Amino acid sequence: MSRAPSVRALAAEALADIALSGHSLRDVADRALPRLPDPRDRALLTALLNDGARWWPRFDAALDLLLDKPIRRSEPAIHALLVSGLVQLDILELPGYAAVAATVEAARELRRPRLAGLVNAVLRRWQREREALSATLDATPATRHAHPSWLADAIARDWPDQVDDVLAAANTEPPLMLRANRRRTTRDTLAERLRDAGQDVTLHPWLADGLVLPHSTDVTRLPGFAEGLFAVQDGAAQVPADLLDLADGQRVLDACAAPGGKACHALERANVNLLAVEFEAKRAPRIRQNLERLGLNAEVVVGDAADPSAWWDGRPFDRVMIDAPCSATGVIRRRPDVRLHRRAADIDALVAQQERILAACWKTLAPGGRLLYVTCSLLRRENEGVVNAFLAGTPDASPIPFTLPVGRPAKVGWQVLPGDGDLDGMYYALLERSRTSAA
């Protein structure tokens, strides 16, 4: 029987894949976790990967202060091992001697015994000089809050009065939010069942279907999951079902649907005829799986939302929802690897794609119908910038004003920033097509 790899050696290789090779945290974790038979080891690996990705920009910069010569390119696994060692000492606050000793041994397991002494020296130096080194890192918002400089600068430009709170919120543990499936249960009944199972659950104060658990857990083990009584969905993503003002018999388009949470919520709210369009073929099965587990029905097609001719039958939709592809800068607390993979140069291409999708899907909307444009971005260019440009060139489109209990109005629409009401960051703009418009 082959010996299971140590957690720290496996974490170093996986973290190097995430931070230095551009692989997604979810994909890397899905491959790495099954290699560890012990649940305690899997829990530590999960923490090292999540906090390693979350705090990489800070500790990657710290290593430039601690090393005479960078090794991130020549020895990526050892560089990642050092980051994970600093995470153990500074974020997870594991016992120092044991954490250092185990991390040094991991260097040998990674077949880099000649670098074991370097690993030991760097981690010991951090322990000795932590206060001074931390002060240097804290002097710059990007390294203080572990964000790439371009993103910290962009948030400071767009949200100067909230920048520190926004950056800090991205490093906090989000609560686990559930959405009761009102087709199969009530929120109160589900909450009672969860409490009977020992869960600390509260009803969300203003989201009609929302329940909140303070910490993440294996949701597949919660009572009611297999029966489709609930779905996991952050509260910010539960807002669209309210804004759409759904009614039985409406034709509804979810133009960028995967993984299907907002589509399922719409179907739970009303007997609508829903078409879910997803560009990536590999993500479409996830929509179908969620529909099946929750006992819902919709037509799911693979297609480009910016090219309706390939999937639209010409009959107009009463409601259109566009959860547009975006920078995902509002959900970094749940997807910490976004800060490692997103680049400033990506924004131009995303804005162009958002503009194409919005213009194309508008043509499928019935006169008098509503279109909801949503992103999980904090950047004004992707949000009100896109919508304002669309409104300026579309005479039959007008914004519908609304307010939410948290967040703030944008020039058009509404922006929730990370941490507002303990929600993810999300932008919403609700538009109506003139009733005199030609369909």
Please state whether 407 falls in left (phi above 0), alpha (psi between -120 and 50) or beta: left
Do residues 348 and 381 touch, judged by C-beta distance below 8 A?
A: no
Lowest mean pLDDT among 171-175, 240-244, 267-271, 390-394: 171-175
How far is residue 125's CA from residue 122's CA, in Å, rounded to a whole number?
Answer: 5
Do residues 83 and 63 touch, judged by C-beta distance below 8 A?
A: yes
User: What confidence tier does 4 reach under pLDDT thresholds 50, 70, 90?
Assistant: low
- Residues facing 370 on adjacent strands: 319, 432
Instruction: Please state the rounded mean pLDDT for residues 135-153.
Output: 97
- Residues facing 178 on adjacent strands: 211, 232
Closest CA to 36 of 12, 77, 6: 6
Predicted pLDDT at 435? 85
Residues 6+ positions from 221 with CB-CB distance below 8 Å: none
What is the tens place of the pLDDT at every residue in 309-358?
999 999 999 999 999 999 999 999 999 999 999 999 999 999 999 999 99
Predicted pLDDT at 273? 98
Instruction: Please state the rounded mean pLDDT for residues 131-145.
Output: 97
Instruction: Please state the rounded mean pLDDT for residues 124-151.
Output: 97
The alpha carbons of the chain give a radius of gyration, in whole angstroms, of 23
Do residues 378 and 166 touch, judged by C-beta distance below 8 A?
A: yes
The answer on pLDDT for 5 being more than 90 is: no
Mean pLDDT of the chain: 96
How far is residue 429's CA from residue 409's CA, in Å, rounded to a whole number?
Answer: 10
Instruction: Please state the rounded mean pLDDT for residues 288-311.
Output: 97
Phi, psi of 149 (to 5 degrees): -60, -40
Predicted pLDDT at 436? 83
Predicted pLDDT at 363? 97
How far is residue 319's CA from residue 262's CA, in Å, rounded to a whole number?
Answer: 13
Do residues 151 and 399 touch, judged by C-beta distance below 8 A?
A: no
Closest CA to 426 of 243, 296, 254, 303: 243
Closest CA to 375 of 339, 319, 416: 416
Instruction: Please state the rounded mean pLDDT for residues 50-77.
Output: 97
- Active site residues per annotation: 376
What is the tens place of the pLDDT at every residue in 72-85?
999 999 999 999 99
User: What confidence tier does 147 reach under pLDDT thresholds 50, 70, 90?
Assistant: very high
The answer on pLDDT for 222 being more than 80 is: yes
What is the tens place of the pLDDT at every residue in 415-431?
999 999 999 999 999 99
Residues 6+ positions from 198 with CB-CB distance below 8 Å: none
Give residue 429's identity as a one-letter amino acid code: A
Give how far Cα 360 sits from Cα of 115, 244, 306, 322, 363, Å: 56, 19, 5, 11, 6
Instruction: Please state the rounded mean pLDDT for residues 15-44.
Output: 96
User: What confidence tier does 439 reach under pLDDT thresholds 50, 70, 90?
Assistant: low
The answer on pLDDT for 2 being more than 80 is: no
Predicted pLDDT at 3? 61
The answer on pLDDT for 406 being more than 70 is: yes
CA-based max dimension of the chain: 76
How far is residue 405's CA from residue 386's CA, in Å, rounded to a whole number?
Answer: 24
- Residues facing 217 on adjacent strands: none
Predicted pLDDT at 1? 37
| 160-179 exposure pattern, b = at least 16 Cβ within 10 A, e = fewer | eebbeebbebbbeebbbbbb
SS (H, E, C) the chain: CCCCCCHHHHHHHHHHHHHCCCCCHHHHHHHHHHHCCCHHHHHHHHHHHHHHHHHHHHHHHHHHHHCCCCCCCCCHHHHHHHHHHHHHHHCCCCCHHHHHHHHHHHHHHCCCHHHHHHHHHHHHHHHHHHHHHHHHHHCCHHHHCCCCHHHHHHHHHHCCCCHHHHHHHCCCCCCEEEEECCCCCCHHHHHHHHHHCCCCCEECCCCCCEEEECCCCCHHHCCCCCCCCEEECCHHHHHHHHHCCCCCCCEEEECCCCCCHHHHHHHHHCCCEEEEEECCHHHHHHHHHHHHHHCCCCEEEECCCCCHHHCCCCCCEEEEEEECCCCCCCCCCCCCCHHHHCCCCHHHHHHHHHHHHHHHHHCCEEEEEEEEEEECCCCCCCCHHHHHHHHHCCCCEEECCCCCCCCEECCCCEEECCCHHHCCCEEEEEEEECCCCCC
Predicted pLDDT at 438? 63
